[in-house]
Amino acid sequence: EPEVTQTPSHQVTQMGQEVILRCVPISNHLYFYWYRQILGQKVEFLVSFYNNEISEKSEIFDDQFSVERPDGSNFTLKIRSTKLEDSAMYFCASRVTGGTEAFFGQGTRLTVV
């Protein structure tokens, strides 16, 4: 069964450094999402992406964040200058056109030290 895959599973980075979290959505899906979950808190929507552009973003998704689909398979989330409060589990999800179910990756745990 096709799955959304995320790499790495765990990333440790120093405050101020740039990080790129990678996702490979399911191949025939055209809608992509990033969510995050700070430890002990709820899963929060960050951004949705369709047709090579952001379709919606939350207040969390400020200028430090960017997303990109650099090729036909990858979908990346970049945090330009990480802060301690960016430490969280980041989930990528994708959805097929016309469907409402989001398929999630296993997550990347980002630890900013």
Residue 56 is a binding residue for another protein (CB under 8 A): yes
**Subset of 23-42 contacting another protein (CB under 8 A):** 31, 33, 35, 41-42
CB atoms within 10 A of CB 30: 14
Nearer CB in complex with another protein: 17/55: 55
Residue 55 is a binding residue for another protein (CB under 8 A): yes
The CA distance from 96 to 6, in Å, is: 18
Q: Report how far apart, in Å, the C-alpha atoms of 8 and of each of 25, 30, 52, 110 are.
A: 15, 22, 23, 9
Nearer CB in complex with another protein: 6/82: 6
**Best CA proximity match to 33, nearest among 21, 42, 45:** 45
Give the residues lining the site for another protein (CB under 8 A): 3-4, 31, 33, 35, 41-45, 48, 50, 55-56, 91, 95, 100-102, 104-107
